[in-house]
Amino acid sequence: MIPYVIGPITGVRDGSEKSYVPPKHCPSCGSDLVNFDGEVAWYCVNTQCPAQLIRHLEHFVSQSAMNIVGLGIQIVKQLIDAGLVSDLADLYTLDRDQLLALEGFGEKKVDNLLNAIETSKRQSLSRLLNGLGIRGVGEVMAADIAARYGSLSALGKATQEELEAIEGVGPNIAKAIVDWFARSENQKLLTKMKSVGLNPVQHIEKDEVQPKGELKLSGLTFVITGTLPSYSRNEMKAMLIRHGGKVTGSVSKKTSYLVAGEAAGSKLSKAKELGIQILDESGILAMIGEKE
C-alpha cells in the first residue's frame, strides 16, 4: 500500500507554525521552477541542471529509451566527473582518446561503448522522446505522440489543446510538453543533438508492425500491470500490438482490458473501480489464440 496524506493534525499545533513559501528558482541551476495545477510539487525542468544530470543520462541511455548498451550509472558518473559530459548530446561527442584516458577504460571497452553510442543514433523518435525525460512522457505515451507528430520539430510547434486531443494526454502533461519545448536551454539541446546526427523521424518499430488481414484485438485498448509468469511487459505489449490491440500506460474508462500479473497494485484497483474486465496471462493468450 502506498502511503498518502489524509489531512492535518491540528491538535498538535502551538501557534508558532509559519506558512511554507516554495522557492521560485532551482537552487542548483537557477532556472525558474514549474508548478502544475492540482499538484503540490515544484519542478526544475532544465535538462542541463547539474543536480539532475546523472539521472537524466541514466534514463536517456536505458533499455526503454536509447538503449546504449554498456553505459551504466557508474560510467555516467565517471564521464560527468571528468568533465566530458554536461548534457545528453555530449555523449555523441566523446572520442576514443578521451575515454582511453579514464581509469578502467581499455581499448575493447572504449570501442564497444563508442559503437553502442553510434548505433543509438538509429533509434526511433519515440525512444528519443522517452529519453528526453519530459515530465509525464513515458514509453507508451512517447510512442503515441511520436506517431502523431513524426518529428521533434513538428512536436515543438504543437499547442496544449492539440496535445490534449491525444488519448491519455491530460492538461498537465500537455502543459509540461509545451513548456519543455518553449525553454531556450532545451532548444539549444535539440540543436546540439541535430548537429551530432541525432534527429530521427518516427517509424514503426519491428515489434509494433501489425499484420494484414483480420486482427483479433482491433479496436481494443489494454493496460499491462504486475509481473506476468512467462512474458515481460514489453513482450506482452508487442504481442498485443501484433494482434491489433493498443497498449496504454494508465487505466481509464476507455480501457478495454487490464492484463494483470502478480503485485498488480493501484492499476488493478482502478480497473475494478471502473468495472473494466481483468485478464491474467492465460486469459489473454486464450483470447488471441496463442499457446502458453
The structural domains of the chain, with segments of one domain joined by +, span 24-203, 208-288
CB 68 within 8 A of CB 131: no
Q: In angstroms, how far apart are the furthest CA atoms of the chain?
A: 71
Backbone phi, then psi, for 221, in 5-degree steps? -115, 130
The model carries a pTM of 0.64
At 165 the pLDDT is 83
Check residue 209 and give its pLDDT. 41
What per-residue confidence (pLDDT) applies to 283? 93
Pick the closest to residue 149 from 219, 106, 215, 200 (CA basis). Answer: 200
Give me the sign of the Cα torsion angle 141, 143, 146, 148. Answer: negative
Q: How far is CA 203 from the centre of its chain?
A: 18
Residues 6+ apart with CB under 8 A from 144: 166, 167, 168, 169, 248
pLDDT given at position 182: 93
* Residue 168: Cβ within 10 Å count: 16
Asked if 167 and 248 touch (Cβ cutoff 8 Å), the reply is yes
Q: What are residue 202's DSSP bridge partners?
A: none
Alpha helical stretches, state H, the chain = 53-60, 73-81, 96-100, 107-120, 125-131, 139-149, 152-155, 160-164, 171-182, 184-195, 233-242, 266-274, 281-288
Confidence at residue 290, expressed as pLDDT on a 0 to 100 scale:
63
How distant is the alpha carbon of residue 65 from its chain centre? Answer: 7
Superfamily name and number for 24-203: 5' to 3' exonuclease, C-terminal subdomain (1.10.150.20)
Q: What is the pLDDT of residue 202?
A: 65
Q: Any idea of the CA torsion for 153, 158, 160, 164, to the nearest 10 degrees?
A: -100
CATH 3.40.50.10190 fits 208-288, yes or no: yes
**Do residues 71 and 109 make contact, with C-beta atoms less than 8 angstroms apart?**
no
List, run by run, the mean pLDDT of 10-residue segments along the chain (292 residues). Answer: 80 90 90 82 82 91 92 92 94 95 94 95 93 90 86 91 85 92 92 92 49 70 91 83 84 93 90 94 86 52
- Residue 77's Cβ-count burial label (10 Å; 0-12, 13-18, 19+) is middle
The Cα-based distances of 87 to 48, 68, 193, 216, 240 in angstroms read 6, 16, 10, 44, 36
